[in-house]
Chains A and B, each alone.
Chain A
Amino acid sequence: MQLYVERFLTAQLKGARRDALAVIEDALASGMSVPEVHCSIIRAAQYEVGALWQKNAISIAEEHVATAVASLALSWLYPKLPRVPDNGKRVLMACVEGEMHELGARLASDFLEMAGFEVRYVGANVPTDSLVSLVASERPDLLALSVTMPFHERSLRDAIQAVRSAVPDVPIVVGGHAFRDTPQVAASLGLEHVGVDPDALVTAAKRAVGMST
C-alpha cells in the first residue's frame, strides 16, 4: 500500500500524469477496490502533500500541481465507480465561499454516487449568494458543504444561515478536514459533522434525506 502512495506522490509532485494514472491502474489490477484507491492512495497522498508543505518541503506551486494530478486521478476513476441502483435522491455538493480546497468534496461526491445518490458538484469557493440561489432553484434533497480550512468557519456560518432562511426545508450536512477534530463547531450550528470519513458521510446523508441506513 505504502508503495503505491509513494509512487503516486512522486508522480504527483512531478506533474507526471501518466505515471500517476499507471499507479492507479496497477493498484486496481492488484485487486484493490475503487473506494480503497480513493482513500488509501489518492487521499493519503494528498495529506502527504499538505504535510510536505507544512514542512516547507514543497512550494505552493508544487502543491497546485500535485492537486491537479489528484484531481485527474479522481476523474479517471469515475467511470469505474461501482454503483448501486439510483436511490432517487439528489445532493448538491459545494465548498463554502473562499474555500479553495476541493479534493475532499470531489472524493465525497464519488462516495455518495457509489451509494446511489445523484450528485450535483458545484466546486470550490462558491459565493454564498450563488449557493443560496442554486439551492433554491435546484431544490436538492440534501446540501453538503465542504470546509477544509478552519479559517472558513465564518463563511460556513454565513452560508448556513443564508440557506436556512431562504430554503429552510433542505437538510444540510457539513464535512471536510476543517472540523475533523472539532465537531463542536458543527454541533453549534445544529448540524451533523462527518469529518473526513466517507462512510460516515453516506450514513449521515441517508439519514438526512429520510432513507433507512
Chain B
Amino acid sequence: MSRRAPAPSQADLDALSREFALLCDEQGVLIWHDERAPRLVNATLGVSLHSLAVPGTEPKIEFMLQALRRGDEARFEISLRDGGRPVTVAMRGSRTERGLLFVGSLVAQEFGDALSQLESTMTELSEMHRQSEKQRFELARLHGELGDSSRALLTMHGELDDKLDSLRRADEIRTRLVANVSHEFRTPLNSILGLSRLLLDRVDGELSVEQERQLRFIRQSAESLAEMVNDLLDLSKAEAGKHRLNPRTFRIEDLLGALRGMMQPLLTNQETRFVVEEPPTPVSLDTDESKVAQVLRNLVTNALKFTENGEVRVTAMEEGDMVVFRVIDTGIGIAPENLEHIFDEFSQIDSEVQRRVKGTGLGLALSRRFAQILGGTLTAESTLGKGSTFTLRIPRVHEEVAAMETIASASQQIDPSRAPVLVVEDDRQTMFLYERYLTGSGFQVIPARTIEDARRCIDRVRPAAIVLDVMLDGESTWTFLAQLKDAPATRDIPVMVVTVVDRLQKARALGADEFWLKPVDRERLVRKLGELARRGGSVPKILIIDDDSVARYLIRRLLSETPYHVIEAANGAEGVRLARLEQPSLIMLDFFLGDATAFDVLDDLKVDPRTRGIPVIIQTSKELADVERERLAVDTSAILSKQNLSRELAIARIREALLNAGVKVEAGHGHT
C-alpha cells in the first residue's frame, strides 16, 4: 500500500504560488485578502482595486466590477502594479454574499515576460532591417553614380590614350633625331678635326703659313659646330629629363680656380678685366660640379662677349643653405622687354654686338635647365647700356645628396626586425630606388658608395644579402666579389650582381679595356701601343673596326711612322673574322658600327678563346643617344639592369636569393 507523504505547509505552498485571492465590496474596496496577495500585488485592506491598478487602466477595473455587480461571472485580464512594474493578472471573480470574490493569476504575466524576450529580439531585428535597407538604398544610389563615373572615365581614358600615343611618337622622333644628330653630325665633324690635326702635325709634309692659318680656321669652325651639336644634344637630353646628376663634394675655390683657367684663352680683349672673387670663408659643395662649371662657363662667356670694355666679375657666397654665384658685367646690358626672353631657346637679341658674336642661342636655355637639375634657379637683371647680373642660386648640398645621407644615417641603426641588405651603388638615383623598393618589403638598406665603404660595412654587420653594382670600381669590385666568395664567413651571403645599361660600362663588363673619345689623339695611341708592345712579342698588329672610312684612314695615318701594322675592317663581322685570323695586339672598335653595335663584336670576341685576350679599345663620340638601350635589353637580360629595375623584380630576386640561402625576411638575421 503506497503511503502519501504528509501535506506540505501552507506557507511553502504560498511561497511558490503565482495566484492570490481577494474579497472586495461592491465598490471594489478590499475587505479581505489571502496571504499571497500582498506579496504579489501589494494588496492591503481598505484600498480600492482601482488604486492597485496601473494608472490609465482603471476603466477596465470598473468594467469588471460592473460585470460582477450585474451578476455575470468575470474573467478579466487587468494590469496591476507589482512594485515598480505593471503586471498582467488574469482575474476570475464572482459575486458572493460576502462580497466580490476574486482569484488572480500571474501566469499571464509570466507568459508576457517570455514574450518580452522575443520582443527585444524583434526590436533588434527591426533595427538591423532598417540598417540593411538604408544600405541597400545607398548602394543603389552609388551604383547609379558609378555608372556615370565609369562612362566619364572611359571617355577620359580614350583621350589619355591618344595623348599618350602622340607623346610617345613625339618622344621617339626626338630620340631618333638626337641619335641621328649625334652620329650624322659628329662623324664628319670628327673627320674634319682629325684630318686637320693630321695636317697641322705635318705628318704628310710641310705647310705654308697661309695653309696653316686656313687649317686653323677650319678647326675653329669645326670646333664651333661640335660645340653647337653638343649644346643641342645636352639641351635635348635635359628636356627629356635624361641628364643624370653626378654629385660629388668639391670646394668652391677649386671650381673658381678651374674657371679662371678655362676662361684665360677667351680674355683676348685687353679692355675688359676678368675678376673672380672667392667667398670670404672656404665653402664646399656637394652637388654636380660639372654642371655648375658648365653654367658658369656659359655665363662668363656671354658676359665677356657682350662687354667691350669694363669688367666681368664672378662672385660666390654662401647664403644659409644656398650658394649664390653671380656673374656681373658692365657690358651692353639687356632691354627690359628682352629680359624675359633671353632664357628661351634660340632667342638672339638683335643688336650690333650680338651680330658680331657667335653663339647658338642655346647656352642660357641649357644653363637654366641645368640650374633646375641642380635644384636651384638662374635669374638675370640688367640695365641697358650699363650691364647685367646673372645669378645662379643652388643648394649647397643637393637634396639628393641630403636624402642619401638620410638613408646612410638610417642605416647606422640596425633594425632587428628587418633583414639588412648591403647595397653597393654609387648612383644616387639608383640608391633611392633600392631604398624605396626594398624598405617597404621589410628589408633595411645599408648603402655603400664605394668598395671601401662596403668592406667597412661587412665588418660591422653581416648582411642578409648584397646588391653589387659591378661597374662601381672596375677591378676592385670584382676583387671584392671574389674575396666575399672566398671567405667562409661571407661565402654564403647571396650577392646580386647588377650593372647599368650604360653601354660604355656594359662594354667594360664584357671585357673592353678602355674607352677613348674620337678623334683619337696620336700621342696617346702611340703610348698605348708602346705599353702593349712591351707585353707582346711578334710584329704588333692593330685591328681597326670602324664603318667610317675616314676614321680608319686617320688611325692609319697616325701610325704611319710607327712599326705597327694596321688592319682595317669596315664592319663587325669582318672585324671578328680578321681578329681571329690575324690575332692583333690591339683592337680599336668603334662603338657605333652602323647596323651592329660594339657589343655584338665584343660578344664574339670574348666568346672565342683565340680573341678573348686581345685588348679592345672602344672609340666613341662623346654622347650617344639612348637608341642602343633597347638593343642592349637583349644583352642584359641575364643581369638585373638598373634601368629596368622594377620593384617587383628587385624584390622577387632578392627574396629568391635570400630564401635560397635559407634566410627569412622576418627574422633578425644579419647580426654579427
A residues sitting closer than 8 Å to B (CB atoms) are: 53-56, 59-61, 64, 67-68, 71, 74-75, 78-79, 98, 100, 102, 106, 109, 119, 121-125, 149-151, 154
B54 at the interface (CB under 8 A from A): yes
B108 at the interface (CB under 8 A from A): yes
- Known interface pairs A59-B77, A64-B112; A149-B123 also in contact (CB < 8 Å): no
> What is the CB-to-nearest-CB distance from B101 to chain A, in angstroms, rounded to a whole number?
18
Inter-chain CA distance A55–B115, complex, in Å, is 22
- Known interface pairs A61-B111, A78-B130; A149-B86 also in contact (CB < 8 Å): yes
Contact A123 B120 (CB under 8 A): yes
Contact B120 A106 (CB under 8 A): no
- Known interface pairs A149-B54, A150-B55; A121-B77 also in contact (CB < 8 Å): no
Name the contact of B127 in the complex, choosing from A59, A68, A123 (C-beta under 8 A). A123
Contact B108 A60 (CB under 8 A): yes
Binds A, one of B40-48, B58-66, B503-511, B648-656: B58-66
When distances are taken between beta carbons in the complex, the residues of chain B under 8 Å from A56 are 60, 63-64, 75-77
Give B604-626 as 1s and 0s: 1 = Cβ < 8 Å from A's Cβ atoms.
00000000000000000000000
> What is the CB-to-nearest-CB distance from B307 to chain A, in angstroms, rounded to a whole number?
70
B57 at the interface (CB under 8 A from A): yes
When distances are taken between beta carbons in the complex, the residues of chain A under 8 Å from B537 are none
Contact B123 A123 (CB under 8 A): yes
Contact A151 B111 (CB under 8 A): no
- Known interface pairs A61-B111, A79-B137, A98-B85; A121-B130 also in contact (CB < 8 Å): yes
Contact B111 A54 (CB under 8 A): no
Contact B116 A100 (CB under 8 A): yes
Contact A55 B77 (CB under 8 A): no
Nearest CB to that of B78 among chain A residues? A56
When distances are taken between beta carbons in the complex, the residues of chain B under 8 Å from A68 are 119, 122
Nearest CB to that of B109 among chain A residues? A60
Contact A55 B126 (CB under 8 A): no
> What is the CB-to-nearest-CB distance from A79 to chain B, in angstroms, rounded to a whole number?
5
A-B contact pairs, 18 of them (CB 8 A): A56-B63, A60-B108, A61-B108, A75-B126, A75-B130, A78-B130, A79-B133, A79-B136, A98-B85, A100-B116, A100-B119, A109-B130, A121-B127, A121-B130, A124-B119, A125-B116, A125-B120, A151-B86
Within 8 A of A (CB), among B19-61: 54-57, 59-60
Name the contact of A53 in the complex, choosing from B75, B77, B120 (C-beta under 8 A). B77
- Known interface pairs A55-B63, A64-B112, A79-B137; A102-B123 also in contact (CB < 8 Å): yes
Inter-chain CA distance A102–B88, complex, in Å, is 18
Contact B57 A54 (CB under 8 A): yes
Contact A75 B129 (CB under 8 A): yes
Chain B: interface residue total (CB-CB under 8 A) = 34
B124 at the interface (CB under 8 A from A): yes
A-B interface contact total, Cβ < 8 Å: 79
Inter-chain CA distance A58–B63, complex, in Å, is 14
B84 at the interface (CB under 8 A from A): yes
> What is the CB-to-nearest-CB distance from B670 to chain A, in angstroms, rounded to a whole number?
47
When distances are taken between beta carbons in the complex, the residues of chain B under 8 Å from A121 are 123, 126-127, 130
Inter-chain CA distance A125–B76, complex, in Å, is 26
Contact B133 A123 (CB under 8 A): no
Inter-chain CA distance A125–B64, complex, in Å, is 29
Contact B124 A123 (CB under 8 A): yes
Inter-chain CA distance A56–B424, complex, in Å, is 94
Contact A54 B60 (CB under 8 A): yes
> What is the CB-to-nearest-CB distance from B132 to chain A, in angstroms, rounded to a whole number?
10
Contact A151 B127 (CB under 8 A): no
When distances are taken between beta carbons in the complex, the residues of chain A under 8 Å from B129 are 75, 78
Contact B126 A149 (CB under 8 A): no
> What is the CB-to-nearest-CB distance from A211 to chain B, in angstroms, rounded to a whole number?
21
Contact B111 A60 (CB under 8 A): yes
> What is the CB-to-nearest-CB distance from A134 to chain B, in angstroms, rounded to a whole number?
13
Inter-chain CA distance A60–B79, complex, in Å, is 10
Within 8 A of A (CB), among B123-143: 123-124, 126-127, 129-130, 133, 136-137
Contact B130 A151 (CB under 8 A): no
Inter-chain CA distance A100–B111, complex, in Å, is 14
Contact A151 B56 (CB under 8 A): yes
Inter-chain CA distance A212–B88, complex, in Å, is 45
When distances are taken between beta carbons in the complex, the residues of chain B under 8 Å from A119 are 130
Contact B56 A149 (CB under 8 A): yes
When distances are taken between beta carbons in the complex, the residues of chain B under 8 Å from A154 are 84
When distances are taken between beta carbons in the complex, the residues of chain A under 8 Å from B124 are 123
When distances are taken between beta carbons in the complex, the residues of chain B under 8 Å from A106 are 126
Nearest CB to that of B53 among chain A residues? A151
Contact A71 B112 (CB under 8 A): no
Inter-chain CA distance A67–B122, complex, in Å, is 11
Contact B63 A54 (CB under 8 A): yes
Contact B133 A78 (CB under 8 A): yes
Contact A150 B126 (CB under 8 A): no
Inter-chain CA distance A99–B300, complex, in Å, is 93
Inter-chain CA distance A14–B127, complex, in Å, is 25
> What is the CB-to-nearest-CB distance from A29 to chain B, in angstroms, rounded to a whole number?
21
Inter-chain CA distance A187–B85, complex, in Å, is 25
A-B complex: 4 closest residue pairs judged by Cβ atoms: A123-B123, A60-B88, A64-B115, A79-B133
Nearest CB to that of B126 among chain A residues? A75
